[in-house]
Structure 1
């Protein structure tokens, strides 16, 4: 299953249901370039995410860090962390994505001791999975096994998946990362999500830098610093890019009018919309529309 258009709420929380019929997990292969945006946009979810790159290479941004992951490598992304992914070097990157509800990793009795501390640790937004390390290689092997089980659905495969999830988590703990809990990091994450939430509620209105800063209870300069560090762009550039992202499904509709779409997503000038769209998508809005309705 390829998720081409991530459904997210106004706080950027992904709304895709990460589960099979019986299990609170999802396992699927993703080709980054086939996403509606040409990349996996910024989002977060409560599930743990395990990624294994089967082809090409990608850069994952996880909170304020960039992580390059090549073919044969993987990465664990902790619960609640903002993340996005872009293909590197036109490599046709394909990766297996395993999303797992934290409550399903181990039994309820073991959860407080072995899982909850990792979810709350502020120094582990991600862990690289390089298979030449035994513990990481074991995790990768289990990801590949689970991917096959989900495809084949052999009898009792749900129980087999449960066993592999426990092995994955045991090996993750075996890597020996020390857990830290920094209150300022928790506050920073909360404020960033508040600002993003405000933008996604008001993107089709007039937005000023003061509005965004106020949403995060920050000064203008601190607001800009947060965005530069976490999103790698200015707050208002993020607003522009988000508006373009929201315009894509509208332009795919046969009756769509470029000028109407521009105003629907918050641009007050068609020419400005066309200019920014061309820079982001490497084509005009009309050319994009014609790829769906020649």
Structure 2
């Protein structure tokens, strides 16, 4: 089994190129537990995302909310929303992931009226797409069709692809969702990304709660509330988790050793790193390294 690394920048913006050679779109199948972390870590991107579960079931977190999505159903995840995915009940979850630039959904003349208001709405971080309702089934079928079109690349497939995208957006719009625009929610999202960006730039250094709060222009207590509400952890707990995530790649390098990796990712004690790693990964860093080396 080949493990895939999920690459994001310091603000958690995904760096995967979401496009084919000529189109601002990407569609591919993802097996959650094939990721190097064992799950799809927290990230965001400018593209809107549609998901269709084709095997098993998964837990998705979008901003502050978590929900389970089962085989045959899917999700719409809006532009700029923080999200992650975890396999549920060791189901071997596989899903089709369709990422598309909002400006490619409809023509420029229609974008302002029918797309931009939706990607700016603060009450639309995601929609559950159920196969048991007509508009949801229509979107899910179109995701399958787009996946097939990109794989087969038959003559004029690009035109057929744009027709399917139009169908997807038409069904989303006719669902009649009432859009809201809350400046407080916009500011909250911006501040959260500022704090995450700061952590990802400085994770290898000594980090204090004051540093993180200052990055988000918040008090210490409000900073803690943000992390608890959106990530279900503390700011410094998130720092530890992120350091462990960064250590996974380093531990797979043949020449690395546990002590060096511990200090490279910001731990000032090897024993503390081992303790936190064991709690997060259910094995020691050395056992993880040996396991990965043996699987090459």
TM-score of the aligned structures, taking structure 2 as reference length:
0.97
Determine the structure 1 residue equivalent to 2:109.
Answer: 109
CA–CA distance in structure 1, aligned partners of residues 4 and 26 of structure 2: 15
For residues 124 and 146 of structure 1, the distance between their equivalents in structure 2, rounded to whole angstroms, comes to 23
Is 1:193 aligned to residue 200 of structure 2? Answer: no
Secondary structure at the aligned position of 1:109 is classed as helix
Q: What residue in structure 1 maps to residue 254 of structure 2? A: 254
1:1-294 counterparts in 2 under 5 A? 4-294=4-294
How far residue 153 of structure 1 moved from its aligned partner, in angstroms, is 1.1
- The aligned length equals 293
Q: Following TM superposition, where does structure 1 have runs of at least 4 consecutive aligned residues deviating by more than 4 angstroms?
A: none
Distance 2:148 2:67 in 1: 27
Superposition deviation, residue 279 in structure 1:
1.0
* CA-to-aligned-CA distance 1:227-248 (integer Å, 9 cap, x gap): 0111111111100000000011
Unaligned residue ranges in structure 1 (runs of 5+): none
Q: 1:293: Cα distance to partner?
A: 2.2
CA distance, structure 1, for counterparts of residue 83 and residue 195 of structure 2: 16
Superposed CA deviations along residues 74-110 of structure 1, whole A, max 9, x for unmatched, are 0000000000011111111111000000010000111
Residues 142, 89 of structure 1: alpha-carbon distance in 2 compared, 3 angstrom cutoff: same
2:41 aligned counterpart, secondary structure: strand
Which secondary structure does the structure 1 equivalent of 2:246 belong to? Answer: helix
Task: Tell me how far 1:135 sits from its aligned partner.
Answer: 0.6
CA offsets 1:162-185 (integer angstroms, 9 cap, x no match):
110011000010111100000000
Output the CA distance in 1 between the equivalents of 2:243 and 2:106.
41
- Superposition deviation, residue 249 in structure 1: 0.8
In 2, Cα distance between the equivalents of 1:236 and 1:167? 45
By how many angstroms is 1:3 displaced? 8.3
Unaligned runs of 5+ in 2: none
Superposition deviation, residue 123 in structure 1: 0.2
Q: CA deviation at 1:40?
A: 0.4
Name the CA distance, whole Å, in 2 between partners of 1:4 and 1:167. 32
**TM-score, normalisation: structure 1:** 0.98
Report the RMSD for the aligned CA atoms in angstroms: 1.0
Deviations 1:182-208 (A, max 9, x none): 000000000000000000000000001
